[in-house]
């Protein structure tokens, strides 16, 4: 449905006001966790804060179109702007994305959810440029490490690099491979690979015949292939909300000892510190850029935006215009971001944090809802089947990758 100019402007203003107010509130929360003033850091500490900063003195070629208004820019503080031209690629055009989350192919009629562009408050970021990013990735390995949300972000990046900007290289120039704990696509012309390493907790799951535990003091087995990557994008979160981790009963293991009970939040921080120690010990900062994408929020509870009934994200077609500060403060998604901020702040290594949590909290409209193939028995009218955890693709993960592309050197 095309949107008139006046209607579009009104929608933009509503979402912008709510987003900016929430942005500053969340910035305050994260700064409190890090204990450092965000605007006074230099470029060398870019990724050690909960928000990543792109400064105007950065000399990388890809930053020349980054317009800075006040000498600094936090690209994760901003607002959602409806933009008819912001349609990076079509799911039908990309053979590398799974049909599971191609919402339009699975029956979704509206398409506005693909056309919300992220606008930072203090700068303008360039449109996504596949050729420019491919040149920066030439001869390199970009590896996403995480769960099914990371899987979607991985597929999104492959589609962006091969289909957007009219770049479409076609299948003949892309080959798939599975080796050493990763699955990937090799873009032969640039000799670069975009890979996924499945590791939903980042630490080792131990599956014995009679018992399953999570070894929160041991990095996950695929870590051996992470060492040689040029760019690593880590994430964890959703599997911590499954029944066993949430209950924490006879599940978390340290030093061979299985704790009778441990709070999920405590185990989550211990696991992140295990990951942090591994990065500090094993990653060469002169060779590898390390990113951590924050928790991808869910929208199962419609009360968060005043919905009285109807299954959370079910039939939602617009972002949340305003989120109340108290709702954000108590939201477990933000608590995980604060924990992550504390851990990365104490690391010796330079880690750039891709803080997508609060900006994605607004996007109740962007989930796959009932328009996915994860449940073949679902119907479009059954909101109990709505998936308010995963995202449509094309969709929001493309925006995350757009922002990531600004930070990749």
Q: State how far the Cα of 83 lies from the Cα of 69, in Å rounded to an integer.
A: 22
- Report the run of H or E that residue 246 belongs to, with start and end: helix 243-247
Of the residues 299, 367, 390, 402, which is catalytic? 390
- What interhelical angle do 396-407 and 148-163 show, nearest 10? 70
Q: State how far the Cα of 287 lies from the Cα of 371, in Å rounded to an integer.
A: 41
Q: State how far the Cα of 242 lies from the Cα of 119, in Å rounded to an integer.
A: 34
Q: Say if strands 252-254 and 257-258 run parallel, antiparallel, or are unpaired.
A: antiparallel
Starting from the edge strand earliest in sequence, which strands make up the sheet with 257-258, in order? 203-207, 212-219, 252-254, 257-258
Of the residues 48, 52, 79, 148, which is catalytic? 148
Q: From the centroid of its chain, how far is CA 164? A: 19
- For 143, phi and psi rounded to 5 degrees? -120, 125
Residue 398 falls in the annotated catalytic set:
no
Question: For residues 349 and 405, is the Cβ–Cβ distance under 8 A?
Answer: no
Residue 390 falls in the annotated catalytic set:
yes
Q: State how far the Cα of 71 lies from the Cα of 65, in Å rounded to an integer.
A: 14
Q: State how far the Cα of 92 lies from the Cα of 210, in Å rounded to an integer.
A: 45
Residue 167 falls in the annotated catalytic set:
no
Of the residues 387, 398, 402, 405, which is catalytic? 387
Q: Which residues are catalytic?
A: 148, 387, 390
């Amino acid at each position: 449905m095309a949107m008139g100019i006046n209607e579009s402007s009104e929608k933009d203003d509503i979402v912008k006001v709510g987003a900016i107010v929430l942005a500053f509130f969340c910035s305050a929360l994260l700064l409190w966790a890090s204990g450092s003033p965000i605007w006074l850091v230099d470029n060398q500490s870019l990724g050690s804060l909960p928000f990543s900063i792109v400064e105007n003195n950065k000399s990388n070629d890809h930053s020349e179109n980054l317009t800075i208004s006040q000498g600094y820019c936090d690209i994760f503080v901003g607002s959602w702007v409806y933009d008819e031209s912001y349609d990076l690629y079509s799911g039908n055009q990309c053979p590398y994305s799974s049909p599971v989350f191609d919402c339009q192919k699975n029956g979704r009629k509206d398409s506005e959810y693909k056309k919300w562009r992220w606008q930072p408050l203090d700068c303008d970021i360039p449109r996504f440029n596949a050729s420019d990013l491919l040149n920066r990735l030439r001869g390199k390995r970009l590896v996403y490490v995480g769960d099914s949300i990371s899987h979607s972000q991985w597929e999104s990046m492959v589609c962006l690099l091969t289909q957007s900007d009219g770049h479409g290289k076609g299948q003949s120039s892309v080959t798939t491979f599975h080796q050493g704990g990763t699955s990937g696509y090799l873009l032969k012309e640039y000799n670069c690979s975009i890979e996924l390493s499945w590791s939903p907790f980042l630490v080792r799951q131990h599956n014995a015949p009679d018992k399953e535990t999570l070894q929160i003091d041991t990095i996950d087995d695929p870590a051996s292939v992470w060492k040689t990557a040029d760019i690593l994008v880590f994430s964890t979160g959703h599997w911590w909300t499954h029944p066993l981790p949430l209950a924490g009963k006879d599940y978390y293991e340290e030093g061979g000892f299985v704790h009778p009970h441990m709070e999920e939040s405590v185990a989550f921080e211990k696991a992140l510190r295990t990951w942090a120690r591994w990065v500090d010990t094993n990653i060469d900062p002169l060779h590898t850029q390390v990113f951590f994408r924050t928790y991808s929020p869910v929208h199962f509870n419609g009360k968060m935006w005043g919905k009285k009934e109807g299954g959370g994200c079910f039939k939602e077609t617009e972002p949340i215009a305003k989120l109340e500060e108290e709702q954000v403060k108590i939201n477990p998604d933000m608590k995980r971001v604060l924990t992550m901020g504390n851990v990365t702040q104490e690391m010796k290594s330079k880690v750039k944090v891709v803080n997508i949590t609060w900006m994605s909290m607004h996007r109740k409209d962007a989930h796959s809802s009932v328009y996915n193939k994860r449940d073949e028995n679902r119907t479009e009218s059954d909101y109990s089947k709505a998936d308010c955890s995963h995202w449509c693709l094309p969709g929001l993960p493309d925006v995350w990758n757009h922002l990531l592309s600004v930070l990749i050197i």
